[in-house]
Amino acid sequence: MSTTNSTPTPVKGSPMLLVLFAVVLAPTFLIGYAVGAGSASVVGGFVAMYSLIAFLGGPLRADLRLAAALSPLLLFAAIVPRLLGEVSRPAAIAVIVLIVFVAALLPLRGPRFVTVGLGLGMVTLFAYGMALIGPAGPWQVVIAAVTGVVTAVVLRVLLGIGDPSKATREKIADVLDAEVPALTTAFDTWLADGRRRWLGIALGAASHYRLALHSAEAVQRAQQAEAADGELAALRTRAHELAEQLRAKKPGPAPQTGAGDTTIEFGSEASAALDAVEGTITERDTSRVALADRLRTSVLRPSVRLRSIQVRHAVRTAFGLLLILVITSYLPAGDPLVATALLTTFGILQASWRETLDKARPRVVGLVGGAALAVVIILVVPAPYLPVVALTALVVALWNMMARPAVAYAFMVVVTVGFNTSLRHTDPVHTLVEYAVLTLTAALIGVLVGFAVVPGLRPEPLRHRIVTARSKTERALRAMTGPDRAEALALHRAAAQARAELTPDHEQLDDDQLAELDRFRAALRDLSMLGTTAALGRTADTERLRAALEALEAPASDGETPAVLESIVAGLADQVRTTEAQLLDSLPDR
């Protein structure tokens, strides 16, 4: 068998957030001051940055449609809570909790809306909690918010005008060569970008290639066939070259690695799928594919249920923000750390216990290290030099935020103490203590309170949800192989909802169980994607799909491998039932 280097690649920082700060914040500050926003321009700058986060992620056409629909809500979130808080703080808190609840529900519309919900929530909390250095009237807040949203829209146009469909091609190309192909995300992006025929064919062929490659790798592992290493490597090399061709705005020269003879099982099907990708890249038929909106909605968007994971997450997030809003309401007016406490709570609260711990841990570790570093700086660095130290710490924090969050949060402590001491003339020790208390309170709310207060919305045990997801996906695919597609619409919606529930809630899973759950979830999504392709007339492989569904009902056998199955779909069905059996064996009944 081939060996790989097990030495982990050092994690490196990234200038992305620094560039984002420079490109978004600085122009918005200048424009805000020029149009009369005054000290509220800082609010406009961060509204622009968080709005751009919401607007980025897809092709330009889809992102601009999203911006047109979302901009009024962003303006409402940036203006109303802040101005309402000056009249009635309880009313402002109620509005914020409602907006955050909506933001936490947005991911139900698809993976693209994860960043939309993030941007909406951060705009709301930052605009409400940000303490201004100077006075600002209501109209200045309005002008700043409008300036921020308009700037974000203009920047989105400038970033995408040169290649409007770049994101679509990249997501489809990722299906060919990414470690974890996001088929559903690629399909959703293709739908939103005008459903160009050549990209649809490329996506379908790429998904078939990944399924065939997975089956071939399973055969290789089962048979310990070292001779197959070269053939698999050749397939991956060709797929990567085709992916680069797909990412290019204009077709370039044909890949140097051509299709070769394959002797491994499923190798010919993988090679044929790559041939289809290469053919459609060369032709690039830009005609649109007709697709019923009802089918698209049923396949991609699960319905909202009271006991769903996402609804429970939305309730938990809203309640957690309600608590921290009430706590910070007792702080003096204009306290500069209110926004920090709100954003920390919002960032820690996640859909599962493990994800929440993963978000809270680097903040707590960073707080400890940052507090020690801040104490040394307070004792050693003269006050006039604190702004320089804080600015340097900000650069280090932004550089490491994505790769080493604990390091980034440690330096953010220095940023907070340094800037507030120098610009707002606060006591550095008092600022440090308050920062520590608010951060620990936010972590406590996220990790403990959020999981204790809504047990009535807790979903069924994970093992029950696994069985339900498999059976509902099977029923939806069976309906799609029959003549009546109307029934398949409702069944696909139910199956999508069941797959969305495959997230651990209170269950404590180890790394092996989490990996197995990821494989099971991905296999179900892939099966659903193939069924959708069959329903849209993309394949005539209906008989193989029926055979795979028959195999799906059979109990998993430890001695059976994809080598004895007859098709890619059947190999995938075998993966579903095998991983399901392994998960059910390892999970408790309750």
CB contact at 8 A, 403 and 367:
no
Tokens 């005539």 belong to residue: 540
pLDDT value at residue 577:
66
Q: How far is CA 228 from CA 180, 232, 529, 539, in A?
A: 22, 6, 28, 28
> Distance (Å, rounded) from C-alpha 310 to C-alpha 71?
24
Q: How far is CA 221 from CA 3, 105, 232, 575, 578, in A?
A: 13, 41, 12, 14, 15
pLDDT value at residue 332:
84
What angle separates helix 338-348 from helix 353-380, to the nearest 10 degrees?
150
pLDDT value at residue 69:
93
Using CB atoms within 10 A of its CB, is residue 100 exposed (0-12), middle (13-18) or buried (19+)?
buried
pLDDT value at residue 584:
67
> Distance (Å, rounded) from C-alpha 50 to C-alpha 70?
12
> Distance (Å, rounded) from C-alpha 132 to C-alpha 119?
21
Q: How far is CA 156 from CA 57, 140, 170, 248, in A?
A: 10, 24, 17, 20
Q: Which residues pair with 288 in a beta bridge?
A: 196
41 SS3 class: helix
pLDDT value at residue 306:
54
Show pLDDT as tens, one digit a residue, over the chain (590 residues): 333 344 444 556 678 888 888 888 888 989 998 998 888 889 999 999 999 999 988 899 999 999 999 999 999 999 999 999 989 999 999 999 999 999 999 887 777 888 999 999 999 999 998 888 777 888 999 999 999 999 999 999 999 898 888 888 999 889 888 877 777 788 888 888 888 888 888 888 888 888 778 777 766 665 555 656 777 888 888 888 888 888 888 776 655 555 556 666 667 888 888 888 888 888 887 788 776 555 555 455 555 555 567 788 888 899 999 999 999 999 887 788 999 999 999 999 887 777 888 888 999 999 999 999 999 998 898 888 888 999 999 999 989 888 889 999 999 999 998 888 887 788 888 989 999 999 999 999 988 765 655 555 566 777 788 888 888 877 777 776 666 655 666 677 777 777 777 777 666 677 777 777 777 877 777 667 655 554 444 444 555 555 555 555 554 444 443 333 334 555 556 666 666 676 666 666 65
Closest C-alpha among 56, 79, 200 to residue 130: 79
